[in-house]
Amino acid sequence: MEPVEKNAEVEARQGGPYAWYALGVLIIAYTFSYLDRQALTLMVGPIRKSLDISDTQLSLLHGLAFAIFYTLLGLPIGRLVDGHRRTTIIAVGIAIWSIMTALCGLAKNFTHMFLARIGVGVGEAALSPGAYSLISDYFPQRTRPIALSLYLSAVYVGSGLATIVGGAIISAMPAFNAPIVGYLEPWQAVFIVIGLPGVLVAIWVLTLREPARTGKKVGVEPTIGATFRYIWENRKTYLTFIMGYAMFTLMWTSATAWYPEYFKRIFGWTTSEVGTRFGLTIMIAGAAGVLLGGLLSTKLRDRGKLDGGILTAIVAAAIALPAGLISCSLGSAWGTLAAVFVFQFGCAMPFGAAAAALQEITPNQMRGQITAIYLFAANMFGIGLGPTVVALVTDKVFHNDLALGSSIFVVIGVSGPLALILLWFARSAYKKTLANVDFS
């Protein structure tokens, strides 16, 4: 177990230049994470054709194959994060997912791709539990929402770059024979090009200094049993908080996974056009939304709203829900893209504030594990189920590939209100838990 320094001694060093440098490295790592994770969304058509699979099978590659081990390994990795050197754990994870992403480019059938996507999930399970814990020790409480929001902005930069870079490569590169690996189609080259550089990022993360852990709760060992006892003692807070954000994630990822294909099927946009237009929309709207959400949460806390992180999510849902429903109902491609911009902006707002709010009610030595549980729910519902639910509605309810917009509408229309209800009930429970926390 690593030694614990007195909070006052550590806080004097938190938030300095090195903290911002380390945050920058973690942002780059998370950007690569989403590059590797989201590249699939732009290549639905080519992958379906090459591997001869359906929308539902494609959604399993995007969601379940990635999420199953990402979520199942999250808790044991979170346990490691709470008791061992976090930078090493993150670096190993980055190296694994980068190599497995490149192997996606060598897939010749559905099974090969499914197994490679599982490997991507295994590697990425190490990043955010470790990063949340590191950032919470690099930065003091007041700047933590902004720092975590900046970290989470990589979600949108990475997603946008995945569509832009992927679209450019697919449009410009013909199929070719590569040394050793043989025949490669353009979509396969995308995975290799965005995967292998991640190994260099892993080496970079390994050079980061490990910050001292602050705020440990005296007498509590960071075991999985102790963590679950703490959650059970505060079950109303954690249940409504975690499931509220899980439904929010479901609303966001279910639509985002299928928007590129929606623009192609319904409006006839080319892969290159979708890559540039949708990619820039995600990057700009998402990054602006998550940063504004962090600022709003901080302002609310400064004004005495202890549940400012949750209030930020309620405001965000009120923006995203109607925009998402409208985006599936317009006959104009550019009008749809404008609605998608607002939807992405709203969906991005709450997650930096959510990460900071979760750290506030969680003892430091349990942060890796409880973050892993939070991400388990968010990713199982969001990444694991979101894309597949949309595909199932398209395949099994409407029986028509051109009904994709109606499928997105249905999933947003169910998950968005559920998120609002759960988060509203989380407010009072959260404030009670926060008032009783003892980090001495």
pLDDT at 121: 80
Per-residue pLDDT for 4 more than 50? no
Paired strand residues for 4: 213
Report the distance separating Cα 204 and Cα 26, nearest Å: 10
Per-residue pLDDT for 10 more than 60? no
| pLDDT, average across residues 320-348 | 94
For tokens 């190993």, name the residue: 92
* % of residues, the chain, pLDDT over 90: 28
Output the six-digit token pair for 99.
Answer: 């190599």
Report the distance separating Cα 71 and Cα 368, nearest Å: 13
254: Cβ–Cβ under 8 A, 6 or more apart, which residues?
A: 382, 385, 386, 387, 389, 390, 408, 411, 412, 415
For tokens 């009930």, name the residue: 425
- Closest listed residue to residue 66, CA positions, set 374, 385, 279: 385
pLDDT at 205: 95
**DSSP one-letter string for 253-266:** HHHHTTHHHHHHHH
Answer for the pair 346, 289: CB distance below 8 angstroms, yes or no.
Answer: yes
Output the six-digit token pair for 304.
Answer: 């005495």
| pLDDT, average across residues 64-84 | 76
Per-residue pLDDT for 404 more than 70? yes
What's the CA dihedral at 277, 128, 375, 147 to 10 degrees? -70
Per-residue pLDDT for 231 more than 80? yes
Per-residue pLDDT for 8 more than 50? no
- Closest listed residue to residue 40, CA positions, set 58, 21, 15: 58
pLDDT at 356: 82
CATH of 7-436, one of 1.20.1250.20, 3.30.1300.10, 2.60.40.1180, 3.20.20.100: 1.20.1250.20
pLDDT at 89: 93
Output the six-digit token pair for 56.
Answer: 């539902």
Paired strand residues for 184: 176
- Closest listed residue to residue 145, CA positions, set 37, 259, 7, 306: 306
At 42, the pLDDT band (50, 70, 90 cuts) reads low
At 125, the pLDDT band (50, 70, 90 cuts) reads confident
Output the six-digit token pair for 428.
Answer: 């009072």
Residue ranges per structural domain of the chain? 7-436
pLDDT at 7: 47
Q: What is the mean pLDDT of the chain?
A: 83
| pLDDT, average across residues 316-321 | 94
Of residues 28 and 156, more confidently modeled: 28
Least confident of 118-127, 394-403, 404-413: 118-127
